[in-house]
Structures are given as structure tokens and as C-alpha cells.
Amino acid sequence: MASFVRKVPTSSGARAVQIVHKTGRQVVGIEHIGSAHDAAGLAALMEIARQRLHEGQEALDLAGASSGSAVPSGLSGARVTGMRAQLLWDVLTGAYRQLGFEQVRDETFRALVCARVVEPTSKADTLRVLADLGVPGPSLRTVWRCLVRCVERDYQGTLATACLAHAVSGAAGALSLVLYDVTTLYFETEIEDDLRKVGMSKERRVDPQIQVGLLVDPAGFPLELHCFAGNMAETRTLIPVLQAFAERHSVTDMVVVADAGMLSAGNLNALEDKDFRFIVGSRISKAPYDLAEHFEAHGDYFTDGQILESDRVMGTRTAARSRRVVYHYSFSRSKRDNRAIEAMLDGPRRSPPALVPSSGTGS
């Protein structure tokens, strides 16, 4: 289990300090330390969080060497002028170099990337992270100039090429399968612009957001990343990301795996027209008509793990094409779904209103 300290903005405009515990990619616990409205309060909360995170961990008292306190032999009279997380920084810069990112040849960019691995925060606050690590950092103006260089020199393309080279280095020299997914990132502001737009939110938020499409290899290593306007439909992000990847690396034959959010006749036709093959996964809520022969012969009986195949015409009019469909039956999944349905049916039901005869006069 990994634990780290993070700062998150609150709805009141303060900054909350938390200790996050994760197992793999799953958050298993969050300890809230407190919230601060100024830099001094935030620094105090960060120090409390660090002490709690490393509670019971002993440290070599180098600072006491110059004050006459008891120190290890050989350090008498020593004076601490600075501290540096050298091992951590060597590991980060070594991984940066191993991935081939040194092709960018920008020391400021490397410092920003490595520092944000330690603590994902704003570009301005990244300078504080570098100072905590004991690493000489650039000025804030140098950081802004670095961001301009990122666009002018197409750092994204350079890094994407390096990522693909790393992904295929341990394989047979080719990448035949990629996975695609899309997510949204929201901003705590009410102001929209050309990119940040209010759109369909899985978290039911009404804040401006952006769409982020990510292409990865079978092991989950990132290959291509693109941002889209927040009000763009998820299905419309797939083709631009794949097309950029194909043009950047001259890819002509590849299998793309996506989820049900990409399941549209237009997308599938476009993939075929661009010589991409695809696997699109989706759960079905009712028995498909193209398995009528099975239901007629066996009813609703399936063996666990049973696989059935059929052909189905997808799309309408000129966009209709016949495609292979593979069905996989899971007994545990079916059992879980049936329990959920039964729980909804057995839940409290609203009783019908009582009928009260109306009074009146007869003739």
C-alpha cells in the first residue's frame, strides 16, 4: 500500500491537506488533516501531514551537530547547509532517461515532470516541491517560457514517439493491439472558453470540463493523449486520436479495443474505412434476436463461460454493415444481476391510496 500527502481545493476557496492511501490504483482511505486559507496555514498543515505520514520513523539529527548535542562520531562540528533527496531524484531522472524523454533536451521541462510525479500540483507550486527535494529549480518566468516551448517545438509528438519506442522495445518489434478510453476533467470555475465547456459529466457536475482521450498498449503504457472540448460526445474522440497515432507512426494495421461508449455505427464504419480492426465490449440487457435459434433449442440455459457467435447487421440505410458478434456467458455475473433484480422487486412498494366514498344528496 502506498501513502502520500496531497492538497485539494475546497468549495469555499480554501486548500485541504489530506493523506491518501492507495493499493495499486484504488484509493482505500483518506485522512483529512485540515483546510487553510493562507500560505502559512497551508505550510503548517503540510508539516503535520508529513509527520503523521512518517510517524515513528527515526531520522539522523544532522541539525544538532552544530548546536553541541549528541551526534554520531565523525560529525562533530558539522554544519548543515542544505538537504537533498538525491536517491529519489536519481530514480526519477533515471526513469525519465530510460523512457527516452531526454530527446526533448529541456532541463526545465524535465524538472517539472519529475516534480509533478512527487506531488501533482500547479506549475507555480512545483517550484516549492523542487525546493523541498533540494533540487535547484527554475524561476516562474522560466516555467512559463517552457510551456510556450512545449507547443512551439511539439513536445507531445516527441514524447509520443519515445513512448511507442519504449512500448515495442520488449516486444517483437511491432504493436498490434491498443486500448482506448476517454475521461473528463472538470475545472472549479463558471467561465467557459473554447476548450472548457459544460457537457455530459459522469459525476453529474455542472462545471466546465474537458474530454481526455488516452491510447495505451496492452500493458497500460500510454501511447497517445489528446484533449477535446468538454461538450464533445465521447464517440467523436476515438477517430481523431487513432488517426493522429496512425499518421505519427505510419501505422497501417492495428486492432483497437474500446468499451461500449464507442459503440456507434459511424465509429465502427470509420475504423474499417481507415483499415483498423476493432473489439468493442458491451453488456447486453436483453436476449439478442440473433440468438433466437439457441433459445428455441435450449431455452435460457447456458453453461458457465459458454461462447456463442453470430452475424448482425449494424447501422441503418447506407451505413448498415454485417459484423461478427461474440457473446460470452458468465454464471456469476448472471447470478449477481438476478439478485439485484429480485432486491428491487422485493423492496418497499408504495401502497395504493385508499378509496374514500364521497358524500352527496340523492333525489
**The domain spanning residue 206 has which CATH number?**
3.30.420.10
Average pLDDT of 219-236?
Answer: 88
Together in a domain, 271 and 288: no
Together in a domain, 321 and 341: yes
Domain extent for 122: 84-153
The residue ranking higher by pLDDT, 321 or 115, is: 115
pLDDT in tens, 22-65: 887 788 888 999 999 888 888 889 888 888 888 776 666 655 55
Together in a domain, 246 and 181: yes
Residue 356 included in any domain:
no
Together in a domain, 149 and 183: no
Distances 281 to 256, 262, 278 between C-alpha atoms, Å: 11, 9, 10
Residue 272 included in any domain:
yes
Report phi then psi at 276, rounded to 5.
-95, 140
Residue 301 included in any domain:
yes
Q: What is the number of structural domains in the chain?
A: 4
Together in a domain, 104 and 126: yes
> 141-171 burial, b for 16+ CB within 10 Å, e for fewer?
eebeebeeebeeeebeebbbebbbebbeeee
Residue 352 included in any domain:
no
Give the whole-angstrom CA distance, residue 188 versus residue 305: 45
Q: What angle do CA 267, 214, 204 make, to 5 degrees?
A: 85
Give the whole-angstrom CA distance, residue 53 versus residue 39: 21
Together in a domain, 248 and 322: no
Average pLDDT of 121-147?
Answer: 91
Give the whole-angstrom CA distance, residue 135 versus residue 115: 10
Residue 161 included in any domain:
no
Average pLDDT of 156-167?
Answer: 92
Together in a domain, 277 and 288: no
Residue 168 included in any domain:
no
Q: Which residue, 9, 35, 55, sits at the end of a domain?
A: 55
Average pLDDT of 296-309?
Answer: 80
Residue 203 included in any domain:
yes
Together in a domain, 132 and 148: yes
Q: What angle do CA 164, 169, 170 make, to 5 degrees?
A: 125
Report phi then psi at 146, rounded to 5.
-65, -40
Residue 77 included in any domain:
no
Task: Of 63-77, 169-183, 188-202, give the range with the top mean pLDDT.
Answer: 188-202
Contact between residue 222 and residue 239 where contact means Cβ atoms under 8 Å apart: no
Q: Is residue 215 packed enough to be buried (19+ CB in 10 Å), middle (13-18) or exposed (0-12)?
A: buried
Together in a domain, 196 and 243: yes
Together in a domain, 178 and 277: yes
Q: What is the DSSP string of 5-29?
A: EEEEE-TTS-EEEEEEEEETTEEEE
Beta bridge partners of 4: 20
Together in a domain, 105 and 147: yes
How crowded is residue 45: how many other Cβ atoms within 10 Å of its Cβ? 20
Together in a domain, 185 and 268: yes
Contact between residue 53 and residue 45 where contact means Cβ atoms under 8 Å apart: no
8-state DSSP, 104: G
